[in-house]
Amino acid sequence: RFRVLPQGLKVKEVEREDAGAYVCKATNGFGSLSVNYTLIVMDDTGAGRERLGHDGASGGQEDAASKQWARPRFTQPSKMRRRVIARPVGSSVRLKCVASGHPRPDIMWMKDDQALTGLEAGEHRKKKWTLSLKNLRPEDSGRYTCRVSNRAGAINATYKVDVIQRTRSKPVLTGTHPVNTTVDFGGTTSFQCKVRSDVKPVIQWLKRVEYGAEGRYNSTIDVGGQKFVVLPTGDVWSRPDGSYLNKLLIARARQDDAGMYICLGANTMGYSFRSAFLTVLPDPKPPGPPVAPSSSTTSLPWPVVIGIPAGAVFILGTVLLWLCQAKKKPCTPGPTPPLPA
């Protein structure tokens, strides 16, 4: 009766034993989120309907209304995706739990499983579905849960708020990234950079321009006597642990992509950087057609060197003999004159 679908859990032919709390948890490399559901199984047997029908007109109205009950549901889930929120001291944050249902549900806010009073909840009474926390202090850190309920059921959602004290320091690169990387010619690879900062930093990637290649780029910057080119980068992602992540993607790698790369994180207090090298393996091109060796590099055996001129002389003599016979002229040398006594 239970079927796990790509976007939910489906329960068929619900029984009393199915009532209880259900948790949906989604996890990836950057963190996890969870949504809690409370399933209430209502007694809707024929005997119950018959008893309500004998209660008179008012009982019939209640029965008709009960069929239209709708358990609460969050109507703006896109505004609730970020459940881990880090804010510096003195800032503000708004936690949303907009929901609908019939009868109109009520909302209750809790901090660390303790119900918040009207004064502690601040402006959430003015805007029923929003809890506004202003002028944050370190003791405001914690888990804030909204519980939305009506006669048909209840749902809840939890936010984790971390109030960070400003240290007024420059960003710090955490972990070991970026690291030296090797990629095949034409392959795809990436560098990543993690930066910890009190405020959202600017993360930029630079590539060192090799000597003699300055003319390939429109503009370069000089860092420590070396020239670098600024690369286009993607968005900076906020991680649950309070750090920031950025990746540099290198697709269809060529030999020109090899070299030194620098990740630079900066805020108003300064900057930090770390370098890594990319190695691109040679292109495994197929072997081309054989090339005939030049005469200057050809070395023939000495019998061939001697035989070629001798053969040419033999052929030339044969042709001359044939010509002489064709003209019927003696081709033998004339008599030699007598030698003097």
How high is the pLDDT of residue 57? 39
- CATH classification of 71-164, choosing from 1.10.8.640, 2.10.77.10, 3.40.50.2000, 2.60.40.10? 2.60.40.10
How high is the pLDDT of residue 53? 41
Classify strands 221-223 and 99-102 as parallel, antiparallel or unpaired.
Answer: unpaired
Q: Parse the chain into domains and list their residue ranges.
A: 71-164, 172-281
How high is the pLDDT of residue 145? 94
Return d(Cα 192, Cα 234) in angstroms, integer. Answer: 11
How high is the pLDDT of residue 90? 80
How high is the pLDDT of residue 126? 46
Element (H or E) spanning 148, and its range? Answer: strand 142-150
What predicted TM-score, i.e. pTM, was given to this entire model?
0.41
CATH code for the part of the protein at 172-281: 2.60.40.10
Which stretches of the chain score pLDDT less than 70?
43-67, 118-127, 166-168, 212, 214-215, 218, 224, 240-242, 286-307, 309-311, 313, 326-341
How high is the pLDDT of residue 14? 83
Q: Which long-range contacts (CB under 8 A, 24 or more apart) does 25-32 make?
A: 30/237, 30/239, 30/240, 30/245, 31/84, 31/239, 31/240
SS (H, E, C) 68-95: CCEEEEECCHHHHCCCEEEEECCCCEEE
Return d(Cα 273, Cα 193) in angstroms, integer. Answer: 10
Q: Same topology for domains 71-164 and 172-281, yes or no?
A: yes
How high is the pLDDT of residue 286? 59
How high is the pLDDT of residue 147? 93
Beta bridge mates, 73: 100
pLDDT tens string 72-92 = 999 888 888 888 888 878 888
